[in-house]
Amino acid sequence: MRDRGPEIVVVGSANLDLVVSVRHHPAPGETVLGGDLQRIPGGKGANQATAASRLGRRTAFVGAVGADDAGHALQQSLTSAGVDTSHLVVAPDVPTGTALIAVADDGDNTIVVSPGANRTVDRDLIATAQPLISATPVLLLQLEIPGEAVTAAAEAATGMVVCNPAPAPPRPLPASLLEAVDVLVPNETELTALTRSDPTSSLDDLAAAAATLGMPAVVVTLGALGALLVTPDHQQRFPAPVIEPVDTTAAGDSFCAALADHLVEDPGDLPGAVEWAVRVGAATTLRRGAAPSLPTRDEVEHRLAGLRP
């Protein structure tokens, strides 16, 4: 009989997103008028868990929320998406994490995160969830929770470990974490921070920077340009479909979830995983908001029907 445990476990953050549309992002000292405030379930971890579940994978989430209305709303959102929340804890006397998001007319966004209860995710919580983590085919991580918890989760895994090093770390990642990660998924800014390299638009320079990390595989997300897969003996760019984005919020999270989704089925097919992730990320930008409207597998194909890079 087939094991019915989670196919993907996500250890990470849960935030309530406070989203305002703006004509353009304000410069320092500038005030701009925006649209109506929206309160949307979010957080990189919760978004990735929701995206994986909406793509059809049995998914569990390990994290923390506050004992407040926002925390209750986030738990309900995850549960409604079919995510196992048995290891989502409620931290007393700590507010739920909050993200302040401004979305410009071109779909680009800026985000400020107040971690709140996400700061309480620690090694003890990881130890409690270890049986779940060690049994999953794919573990998905980000950096919106304390580093010690991220490292402990990666070390507890026996399946593939995918790490999205976001937000960009202020210092190099611990060697113990990098050694436990199979696929690292930074964007260009995060890769620059990780490698202490100069910003560049050259794919060859990006590949060279990624190679210095010594990882089994690095997938650099390139926004509208797609993604770049770098392994010790190979590099390949995967162009994105040409679209007009509405909102880029959570596109990177959908990308990571789709990567994990494909690796559950075929852990040796990284090119196929990246190609699928590029399409899911692109489809995500064709709607507004985060978790509640992340695309299902059928919606990805419907939204991108007839479109090719």
Mean pLDDT score of the chain, rounded to an integer? 92
- Residue 224 burial (10 A CB sphere; 0-12, 13-18, 19+): middle
Task: Provide the strand spans (E) within 15-125.
Answer: 15-22, 38-42, 59-66, 84-91, 97-104, 109-114
> Over pLDDT 90: what percentage of the chain?
76
Helix (H, G, I), strand (E, B) or coil at 286: coil
- The residues, ordered by sequence, that sit 6+ positions from 31 with a Cβ below 8 Å of its Cβ are none
Decide if 253 is catalytic: yes
Q: Compute how many other C-beta atoms are within 10 angstroms of the C-beta atom of residue 169.
A: 15
The encoded tokens of residue 263 equal 């690796």
pLDDT digits (tens, 9 = 90+) for 200-241: 779 999 999 999 999 999 999 999 999 999 999 999 999 999
Q: What is the mean pLDDT of residues 136-157?
A: 97
Q: Which of 17, 182, 247, 253 is catalytic?
A: 253
Residue 110 · residue 82 · CB < 8 Å: no
Task: Kindly list the distances between the CA atom of residue 110 and the CA atoms of 102, 245, 296, in Å, as whole numbers in the listed order.
Answer: 5, 15, 25
**Domains of the chain, with CATH numbers?**
8-303 (3.40.1190.20)
Helix (H, G, I), strand (E, B) or coil at 260: helix
Residue 15 · residue 97 · CB < 8 Å: yes
CA distance 222 to 268: 23
- Residue 260 burial (10 A CB sphere; 0-12, 13-18, 19+): buried
Residue 85 · residue 50 · CB < 8 Å: no
Residue 217 · residue 231 · CB < 8 Å: yes
The encoded tokens of residue 126 equal 């990881």
> Over pLDDT 70: what percentage of the chain?
96
pLDDT band of 291, cuts 50, 70, 90: low
Residue 270 · residue 232 · CB < 8 Å: no
The encoded tokens of residue 182 equal 């199979």
CA distance 249 to 290: 6
pLDDT the model gives residue 169:
87
Residue 45 · residue 64 · CB < 8 Å: no
| Predicted structure pTM score | 0.91
DSSP state of 159: S
pLDDT digits (tens, 9 = 90+) for 171-184: 889 999 999 999 99
